[in-house]
Amino acid sequence: MKRRDRRRLGFVAAAAAVIVVGWIGAPRAIRMMPAFRVRRIELAGIRYLAPDSIVHALRLTSESSVFTDAQLLRDRVKGVAGVADAAIERHFPGTLEIVVQEVEPAAFIPGPRGELSPVDAHGVVLPFDPARARIDLPVAAARDTALLRVLALVATVDPDFSAVVITARVLPKGAGIALDCTTSRVLFARDAGVEDVRAALLVQQDLKRRRRRYTELDARFAGQVVVRARRDHSTAASPTRTGE
């Protein structure tokens, strides 16, 4: 290699080293600049949680920068009970936006002193204040995971129908699950899926369209929904009867 080429190669290598050092050092220098300190925190997606619980979880100080590790802040927010996921967005020069995805409550569970506690589909009590958040949920008679799963499924498929469910309970001898509304009820199997819920709701909509009255829809049977014009508790409790 010629001497001139060696000098040129050495210059390029030195320049590359300066660029790398500058690239690594720049964020640290920027983080130290007062202009990029966090002066504003915006919260999005919060319906049930107290906003202060998210702010405290961030553990930011007056010296914190908007360049604070986003993954670290996200993990801190996700550590708050009732948070399913979170995202951190920077708005320069000094604003952090925290986008929160909360755990969806499935039902209220009565406590030992008669108080109602919101729980998720797995039966985990959520730190949501019903008085502050105005949560409208059915009351589940027991913390039964199959019961709560069906309630959560109904809320996902049709929130409007879920809103009219008042109470939910497990039928005797494992016969299924009953969702009680004001003038009717809907029965599902414990392992009901999306198609079962959709089938029941389609029948319900058809009956409403035709102005047909009913007291019970039984969606526990594969491929059919039984419509009953009167309550028959003995029939409702028996999963072996497949038609009427």
Better pLDDT: 32 or 136? 136
Indicate the residue among 54, 85, 102 that finishes a domain. Answer: 102
140 and 96 together in one domain? no
97 and 117 together in one domain? no
- Strands across the sheet with 95-102, in order? 40-44, 95-102, 83-91
91 and 123 together in one domain? no
What average pLDDT does the segment 195-218 reach? 95
- Whether 32 shows a pLDDT value over 70: the answer reads yes
- Whether 85 shows a pLDDT value over 90: the answer reads yes
Provide the b/e sequence for 118-133 (b: ≥16 CB within 10 Å).
Answer: bbbbebeebebebeeb
- Whether 27 shows a pLDDT value over 70: the answer reads no
123 and 227 together in one domain? yes
Residue 56 maps to a domain: yes
Q: Could you read off the pLDDT of 44-55 as tens digits, one per residue?
A: 999 999 999 999
pLDDT category of residue 111 using cuts at 50, 70 and 90: confident
65 and 93 together in one domain? yes
What CATH number did the domain enclosing 163 receive? 3.40.50
133 and 183 together in one domain? yes
What total number of domains does the chain contain?
Answer: 2
Q: Looking at residue 38, what is its pLDDT?
A: 97
Planar angle of CA 65, 66, 68, nearest 5 degrees: 70
84 and 126 together in one domain? no
Q: Looking at residue 130, what is its pLDDT?
A: 85
Q: Looking at residue 23, what is its pLDDT?
A: 42
What CATH number did the domain enclosing 90 receive? 3.10.20.310
DSSP state, 117? E
What average pLDDT does the segment 211-215 reach? 93
Residue 244 maps to a domain: no
120 and 223 together in one domain? yes
Indicate the residue among 81, 102, 123 that finishes a domain. Answer: 102
199 and 127 together in one domain? yes
Q: Looking at residue 28, what is its pLDDT?
A: 67
Report long-range pairs for 190-194 (Cβ below 8 Å, ≥24 apart): 190/146, 190/147, 190/150, 191/146, 192/150, 192/153, 192/219, 192/220, 193/153, 194/153, 194/157
Q: Looking at residue 243, what is its pLDDT?
A: 37
97 and 112 together in one domain? no
Mean pLDDT score across all residues of the chain = 86
Q: Looking at residue 153, what is its pLDDT?
A: 97
What average pLDDT does the segment 142-152 reach? 96
By DSSP bridging, strand 177-180 and strand 185-188 are antiparallel
92 and 198 together in one domain? no
Q: Looking at residue 236, what is its pLDDT?
A: 40
Closest to 126 (Cα-Cα) out of 111, 108, 142: 108
- Whether 110 shows a pLDDT value over 70: the answer reads yes
Domain range for residue 177?
Answer: 107-236
Q: Looking at residue 134, what is its pLDDT?
A: 83
56 and 171 together in one domain? no
